[in-house]
Amino acid sequence: MSAVGEAVRERTAGLFWFWSIGAFRRVLPVLFLVALAAFILGPLLSLILWAFAGQWFYPGLLPQEFSTKWWTVVFGNRSVVSSIKYSLMTAPTVTALSALICLPAAYAFARFRFPGRRLLLLSFLSANSFPKIGLYITIATLFYRLNLMTTFWGVVLIQLVGTLLFMIWIPTGTFRGINRSLEEAARDVGASGLRTFFQITLPIALPGLLVAGLFAFLAAFDEAQGTLIVGSPNYITMPVMMYTLVLNYPQPVGAVFSILLTLPSLVLLLLAQRLLRQGYLAAGYTL
């Protein structure tokens, strides 16, 4: 034991001399963890500080003066408030519409064999595999003809594009993961196909579907490029508003708005985590 320790000490004596210091060896993982935490939480922390900074000049580590005046500036701006309203209108509509279109398709992908099944499934991936801006501009020319530009439903449709992937792929996997004999057992005791879907398949799939819905909501909520092209100037949602604020206002305003933009994601994530932890899922029933 000690002989081995001696040998190690000798070999590490050169470049890594400090390795032999026990305290250092113990502290290193802690330091690494702190660095990681700083890397992840640092920007968030600075965001919060900026949002509440009244005065913050170099070289102060903290703002010289705290204030909520930028919050009143943000909420006093009528176009900011309307962007929040539009965002909270479109994102849920997009999520619901996406679920309505995609969930039956996902069930079909998972349960039925039909020609072109794999190709169709892959085609939903294709929307995400190209630079979106080109796609949006092509769609925009189409929307001009259909009189969908600068309309609510135009914005909803353009945001729908980004949600399809989540709403097809995740639920397809979820439905496929549900053993068919669970459904057959329901048919066997007298449930019709429809009842089996709503009372057996859907509840068992719910955690997976909630995750898909969450991703879809966030994808719609964060969508800026397509919404900017299709919606402006009538329908400015929060991410689009962000561009204007960052370009035209002092830094703290951007920070305040960033927090507002993060809030729905944060709330939904916490909510989803609670839901997913509950009940039968807690007992190792995996997605």
Identify the CA nearest to 214 among candidates 69, 72, 91: 91
Amino acid identity of residue 189, one-letter, is V
CA separation, residue 158 to residues 43, 82, 91, 143, 163 (Å): 31, 19, 11, 10, 10
Q: Which is nearer to another protein, 183 or 223 (CB)?
A: 183
CB 238 within 8 A of CB 257: yes
Please identify, using beta-carbon distances, which residue of 62 and 189 lies nearer to another protein.
Answer: 189
Q: Which helix (H) or strand (E) holds 66?
A: strand 65-66
Supply the minimum distance, in Å, between the C-beta of residue 216 and another protein. Answer: 23
Tokens 């993982």 -> residue = 29
Token reading at 245: 């604020």
CB 185 → another protein: shortest distance, Å?
6
In the bound complex, what is the minimum distance in angstroms from residue 178's beta carbon to another protein? Answer: 9
Place of tokens 């619901």: 96
- Angle at which helix 78-111 crosses helix 117-129, to 10 degrees, equals 160
Question: How many Cβ atoms are within 10 Å of 231's Cβ, its own excluded?
Answer: 25
Q: How far is the CB of 207 from another protein (least distance, A)?
A: 10
Encode burial over 99-118: b for 16+ CB neighbours within 10 A, e otherwise.
Answer: beebbebbbebbeeeeeeee
Please say which residue, 136 or 175, places its beta carbon nearer to another protein.
175
Task: Give whichever of 6 and 184 is closer to another protein, judged by the CB atom.
Answer: 184
| Residues near another protein (CB under 8 A) | 179, 181-182, 184-192, 195, 199-200, 203-204, 279-280, 283-285
Whichever of 46 and 278 has its CB closer to another protein, that residue is 278
Q: Which lies closer to another protein via its Cβ, residue 164 or residue 205? A: 205
Give the H/E segment covering residue 146.
none
How far is Cα 202 from Cα 195, in angstroms, rounded to an integer? 10
- Distance in Å, CB of 283 to another protein, minimum: 4
Closest contact distance (angstroms) between CB of 198 and another protein is 12
Compare residues 182 and 267 and give the one whose CB is closer to another protein: 182
Smallest gap from Cβ 212 to another protein, in A, equals 18
Nearest to 241 by CA among 136, 88, 42, 93: 88
